[in-house]
C-alpha cells in the first residue's frame, strides 16, 4: 500500500514537498499499471489535471484524487452499475450528492471504478469487465472482495485517496478487509442515497474506503456534512465485547491468528474486553427465511429492465434478484416488523458496551480462478459469498455502523478487524478506531 495517506499528503503539499499535480501524476501511473487491471471502467485524468490545478490548497481534499464506484451518477457520464445492460442509458444530468460533496471539498474525480454487477455480491467478480486482482498478492490473482471491488483496489494501489462506494451487506468492509485498507460503514441515514442505483433501499449505505482511520473520519465528515464529536478517552475507558455467536465460526488460520493477536495487544494496553454470547445473531436466518430485503427490493427496481435486458445480466446476479419475485407482501411487511424487534433485542444485549470486536470476514482472499464465472464453480462462489457477507451483514440488519481496519502482520495476507455497534454510534466507533489502529500498528514488527 502507498506510504502516505491523505492527511500526510496534505502536509506534504503545505510544506512544498509535493503538489496536487504531482499526486495526480502518481495516481495516473498507478491507474495505468498492471496492479489496476480491470479497476477503472473509465478514467478522466486530462480533465482532472485542470481541476487539480484549480483546487484550493486549503480545501479538505486539496485537489487530491478520489474514485467513484460505477453505482453513482457523475454529470455527463452513463452510470452502468457494472453491467452491460445499461450501457445505452442516458448520461447523468447531475452529480450524485455524495460525489458533489467530495468535489466541493476539493476532491478530483479520476474515474469510475469496477464493481460486482448492480452491487449484488461480496466477492467482487465481474464477468463483463473483468475482475480487479487484489494487490496483496502479485503471484496468485486473488479476489478483491465486493461489491466495491475497483474502489478498494484504487485506494490500495495509490490510484486514489478515497474510494466512494456503498455497503448493503458488507460491500465496503469486505473489500477493505481483503485488500488491507480501511472501510467505514456509517449509520445509513447519515449519508444521502440519491444519485445511486439501489440494491436494497432498506439496507444501502453510501460510504467510502481510505488508507487510514483518520482519512475515514475526514471522508465521513465530508459525505455526511457533519463533524464527529472528538473524544480523548484512554482505551481503558471503553467497554468492549467479542460476540461469540457465529462471528468466530470457521475462521481460517491466518484470520484466527491475527484476531487473537489484536485482542491480546488491546488487552495488554488496558482494554476491557468481555466475551458475550449475543445469541440474537443466530435468529437472523429465520428472520430472513422468506427472502430478505435485497432480493425483494432489487427485484422491484430491476423487474422492467430484466424483461428487456435480462439475458445480458451476470447469471449469478440475475438469479439472486429474481428470487425477490416470490416474496409476498405480507412477508415483506413482517420482515420489517421482525427486524425492528430484533434490533431492539440486540441493542438491549449491547447496553453498556461501546463497541463489539469481530473479524470482518472469516477468510483471507481466495484465488479468482476458484470462483470465476462458470457452472462448475458456482457452488464455491455462493458458499464464499455467504461467508464473506456473514459477519458484516449483521451490522446492516442492525441499522448500525462499523469500521474495518487491517490487523495482519507484514508477512500475512490482509485481515480485517471490525469494530461495530448499533445506529448512531458512529462517533464512538471512529474515535475508538483511531486508538486501535495506532496500537495495532505500533505492536507490529518493523
What residues are annotated to the active site?
Answer: 69, 147, 171
Q: What angle do CA 63, 68, 73 make, to 5 degrees?
A: 110
**Residue owning grid cell 470482518:** 360
Quote the CA–CA distance of 60 and 108 in Å, as a whole number. Answer: 12
Handedness of CA 158, 161, 165, 171 (dihedral sign): positive
Residue 342 burial (10 A CB sphere; 0-12, 13-18, 19+): middle
Quote the CA–CA distance of 199 and 300 in Å, as a whole number. Answer: 10
Residue 269 burial (10 A CB sphere; 0-12, 13-18, 19+): middle
59 sits in which H/E element: none
Q: Which residues does 135 contact at the CB level (< 8 Å), separation at least 6?
A: 1, 35, 153, 156, 157, 179
User: 415, 391 in Cβ contact below 8 A?
Assistant: no
What residues are paired with 357 via a beta bridge? 242, 419
Amino acid at each position: 500500500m502507498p506510504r502516505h495517506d491523505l492527511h500526510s499528503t496534505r502536509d506534504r503539499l503545505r510544506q512544498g514537498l509535493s503538489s496536487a499535480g504531482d499526486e495526480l501524476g502518481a495516481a495516473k501511473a498507478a491507474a495505468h499499471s498492471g496492479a489496476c487491471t480491470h479497476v477503472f471502467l473509465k478514467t478522466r485524468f486530462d480533465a482532472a489535471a485542470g481541476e487539480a490545478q484549480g483546487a484550493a490548497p486549503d480545501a479538505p481534499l486539496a485537489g487530491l484524487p478520489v474514485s467513484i464506484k460505477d453505482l453513482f451518477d457523475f454529470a455527463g457520464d452513463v452510470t452502468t452499475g457494472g453491467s452491460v445492460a445499461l450501457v445505452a442509458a442516458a448520461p447523468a444530468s447531475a452529480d450524485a450528492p455524495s460525489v458533489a460533496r467530495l468535489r466541493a471539498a476539493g476532491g478530483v474525480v479520476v474515474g469510475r471504478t469496477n464493481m460486482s454487477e448492480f452491487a449484488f455480491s461480496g466477492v467482487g467478480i465481474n464477468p463483463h469487465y473483468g475482475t480487479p486482482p487484489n494487490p496483496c498478492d502479485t503471484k496468485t490473482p486473488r479476489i478483491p472482495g465486493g461489491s466495491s471491488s475497483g474502489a478498494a483496489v484504487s485506494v490500495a494501489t495509490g490510484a486514489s485517496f478515497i474510494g466512494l462506494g456503498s455497503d448493503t451487506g458488507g460491500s465496503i468492509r469486505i473489500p477493505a478487509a481483503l485488500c488491507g485498507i480501511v472501510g467505514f460503514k456509517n449509520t445509513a441515514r447519515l449519508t444521502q442515497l440519491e444519485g445511486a442505483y439501489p440494491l436494497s433501499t432498506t439496507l444501502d449505505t453510501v460510504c467510502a474506503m481510505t488508507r487510514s482511520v483518520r482519512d475515514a473520519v475526514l471522508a465521513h465528515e465530508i459525505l455526511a456534512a457533519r463533524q464527529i464529536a472528538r473524544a480523548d478517552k484512554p482505551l481503558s475507558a471503553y467497554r468492549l465485547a467479542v460476540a461469540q455467536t457465529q462471528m468466530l465460526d470457521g475462521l481460517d488460520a491466518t484470520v484466527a491468528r491475527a484476531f487473537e493477536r489484536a485482542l491480546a495487544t488491546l488487552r495488554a494496553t488496558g482494554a476491557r474486553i468481555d466475551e458475550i454470547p449475543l445469541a440474537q445473531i443466530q435468529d437472523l436466518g429465520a428472520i430472513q427465511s422468506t427472502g430478505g430485503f435485497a432480493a425483494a427490493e432489487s427485484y422491484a427496481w430491476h423487474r422492467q429492465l430484466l424483461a428487456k435486458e435480462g439475458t445480458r445480466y451476470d447469471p449469478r446476479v440475475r438469479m439472486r434478484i429474481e428470487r425477490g419475485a416470490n416474496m409476498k407482501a405480507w412477508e415483506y411487511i413482517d420482515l420489517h416488523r421482525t427486524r425492528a424487534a430484533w434490533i431492539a433485542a440486540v441493542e438491549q444485549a449491547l447496553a453498556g458496551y461501546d463497541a463489539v470486536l469481530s473479524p470482518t470476514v472469516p477468510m483471507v482472499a481466495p484465488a479468482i480462478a476458484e470462483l470465476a464465472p462458470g457452472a462448475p464453480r458456482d457452488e464455491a462462489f455462493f458458499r464464499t459469498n455467504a461467508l464473506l457477507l456473514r459477519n458484516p451483514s449483521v451490522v446492516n440488519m442492525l441499522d448500525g455502523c462499523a469500521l474495518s481496519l487491517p490487523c495482519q502482520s507484514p508477512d500475512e495476507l490482509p485481515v480485517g478487524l471490525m469494530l461495530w455497534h448499533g445506529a448512531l454510534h458512529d462517533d464512538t466507533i471512529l474515535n475508538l478506531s483511531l486508538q486501535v489502529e495506532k496500537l495495532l500498528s505500533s505492536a507490529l514488527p518493523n
